[in-house]
Amino acid sequence: MDTVEFYRQSVKQLLTEYAVFFNFGDRVQSQTIFDLEQDRYMLISIGWMGEKRVHDCIIHIDIINSQVWIQENNTDRSIAEELVAAGIPPKSIVLGLQPPELRPYTDYGVPNLAPSQVSLQVS
């Protein structure tokens, strides 16, 4: 299994396991959303709590340029630590929910620049 496929499987397994914890009875359920073409993965809660509509993002993870980006984490757990425990190297995890200027000071990665993102050098 190649590296990105391993990341995909690890993220899907993590979100599937979390989906069990975030079911709130018959009226509010958790749903996993796996967009395999765009490498976007989410866990949401959806339903009704009394007369109030519930539609919340619990966890949102993308795979961008062979890195796992944690875009949202509305749990009290460190998703990054759990991904590291699953075998993903810390430098391959980007805390997208952190401001870009703070990311280099975390224990995790900074974004890999795609060729289209590299500035042209003028000589």
| 67-73 and 93-94 strand pairing | parallel
| Confidence label for 122 from pLDDT (cuts 50, 70 and 90) | very low
pLDDT surpasses 70 at 27: yes
Q: Which domain holds residue 45?
A: 3-110
Looking at residue 107, what is its pLDDT?
94
Question: Does residue 116 lie within any of the structural domains?
Answer: no
**Distance (Å, whole) CA 67 – CA 45:** 26
Q: pTM of the entire structure? A: 0.87
Mean per-residue pLDDT for 15-34?
88
Task: Give the chain as a DSSP string.
Answer: --HHHHHHHHHHHHHHHHHHHT-BTTTEEEEEEEETTTTEEEEEEEEEETTEEEEEEEEEEEEETTEEEEEEE-SSS-HHHHHHHTT--GGGEE-TTS-TTTGGGSSSB-PPPPGGGSPPPP-
| Confidence label for 44 from pLDDT (cuts 50, 70 and 90) | very high
CATH number (domain holding residue 96): 3.30.310.110
Question: Does residue 119 lie within any of the structural domains?
Answer: no
Question: Does residue 35 lie within any of the structural domains?
Answer: yes
| Confidence label for 26 from pLDDT (cuts 50, 70 and 90) | confident
Looking at residue 117, what is its pLDDT?
45
Looking at residue 112, what is its pLDDT?
86
| Confidence label for 114 from pLDDT (cuts 50, 70 and 90) | low
Mean per-residue pLDDT for 46-74?
95
Residue 104: alpha-carbon gap to chain centroid: 18
- In the chain, % of residues over pLDDT 70: 91
pLDDT per residue over 69-80, tens digit each? 999 999 999 999
Q: Is 118 left (phi over 0), alpha (psi -120 to 50) or beta?
A: beta
Question: Does residue 120 lie within any of the structural domains?
Answer: no
